[in-house]
Amino acid sequence: MTGPFRWDLVTPGQLGTLLAGVESPSLWYLDDLVACAGKVLARSGDGDLVFVGRSLDSMYDLLGGALDGRRLSRLPLSFHRHWRDSLTGAQLDQARRIADSFGLSPYALARRSRPVTFVDVVDSGGTFTDLFTLLRDWIDDEREPWDVIRRKLRFVGVTVRRDTSPKTFRWQQQVSWARQLPSRSVLNVSLDGRVWSYFAGWQEKLTRSYRPEDWLVESSGPQRDEATRLALAEAAALVAHGRSAAGRRALARATDGEPALAEAWLRRLVTDLRLPATRAARDRPPPASRGR
């Protein structure tokens, strides 16, 4: 097992009676989440979505239902550490092993057929900086072609919605590594501040945090306490909404006005979302290789 245990909610078969008697969750943020998720899809550059950490697990669950789990995954790594201490050699080695298990080794990145798009909530960009540094140093160590890989890396940050002005803080303008990537490889999608704070901070998560001090520790099995059951009910409800016709249509509408609608891949995706889920699954071509 790589990282903390998490139930597979897209193809569930392991929940049993865990949700028996659990009250229905209040998805008070649903409209904001759907609108944001649709824009993340549109700005992904036709990349496979990789959700970093657990802050945006709710978006992962929503899109997992809508896309039947295709072309998205979770990289459970959290880079949060005390006073931003440097990672130890053992921690870096383990982070590479974990990334490799998700098809993110330099060898795999150089040979994949489409981009990989990392998604996370962003304040100052620290997690994305740590992740980029991990990959960039690894690529150099493995002597894989950076000029090839740089065209396959994208980052979409979910930021707090603020009034825009020339003085507005933009995290990607403050990190030097963003300039190593092609233009429009680092993009943002804004989200209502209260919803952003819920996902980034006070939402009860379904999985344990996976910080550097935990990377070398044997992962434990599922928790079954009341808080976990409530989080599980919330996650399951989001998957169900993503799978529903109303949820899929709302995601399709959320792409309205996006420049990428001029590209065939997004038009195909929007058409797919507007089909009933069963027909869309039947009409999809077989999944392409992840390039591992």
Report domain extents, the chain.
30-276
Beta bridge partners of 160: 191
Instruction: Select the more confidently predicted residue: 160 or 21.
Output: 160
Measure the CA–CA gap between 221 and 143, rounded to whole angstroms.
37
Lowest model confidence (mean pLDDT) among 109-118, 178-187, 219-228: 219-228
| Side chain identity at residue 222, one-letter code | P
Is the pLDDT at 292 greater than 70, yes or no? no
The string of pLDDT tens digits covering residues 8-40 is 888 766 676 778 888 889 999 999 999 999 999
Lowest model confidence (mean pLDDT) among 52-61, 92-101, 165-174: 165-174
SS3 134: helix
pLDDT at 199: 98
Report yes or no on whether pTM surpasses 0.95: no
pLDDT at 291: 43
Q: Percent of the chain, pLDDT > 70?
A: 91
pLDDT at 284: 59
| Side chain identity at residue 36, one-letter code | C
Q: Alpha helix (H) ranges present in 102-190?
A: 106-111, 126-142, 146-149
Task: Give yes or no for a contact between 5 and 219, defined as CB atoms under 8 angstroms apart.
Answer: yes
Is the pLDDT at 133 greater than 80, yes or no? yes
Measure the CA–CA gap between 262 and 277, rounded to whole angstroms.
24
The string of pLDDT tens digits covering residues 230-286 is 999 999 999 999 999 999 999 999 999 999 999 999 999 999 999 976 555 555 555
For 163-188, letters b (16+ CB in 10 Å) and e give: eeeeeeeebbeebebbeebeeebbbb
The DSSP string of 193-215 is HHHHHIIIIISPPSS----GGGT
How many CB atoms are located within 10 Å of the residue 118 CB? Answer: 24
Q: Scanning the structure block, which residue is given the tokens 């939402």?
A: 203
DSSP E strand stretches across 176-278: 186-191
pLDDT at 281: 56
Is the pLDDT at 108 greater than 90, yes or no? yes
SS3 172: helix
Q: List all residues 6 or more positions away from 107 whose beta carbon is below 8 Å from its beta carbon.
A: 142, 144
Element (H, E) at 2: none
Is the pLDDT at 218 greater than 90, yes or no? no
Task: Give yes or no for a contact between 115 and 45, defined as CB atoms under 8 angstroms apart.
Answer: yes
Highest mean pLDDT among 144-148, 167-171, 205-209: 144-148
Taking all residues of the chain, what is their mean pLDDT, rounded to a whole number? 90
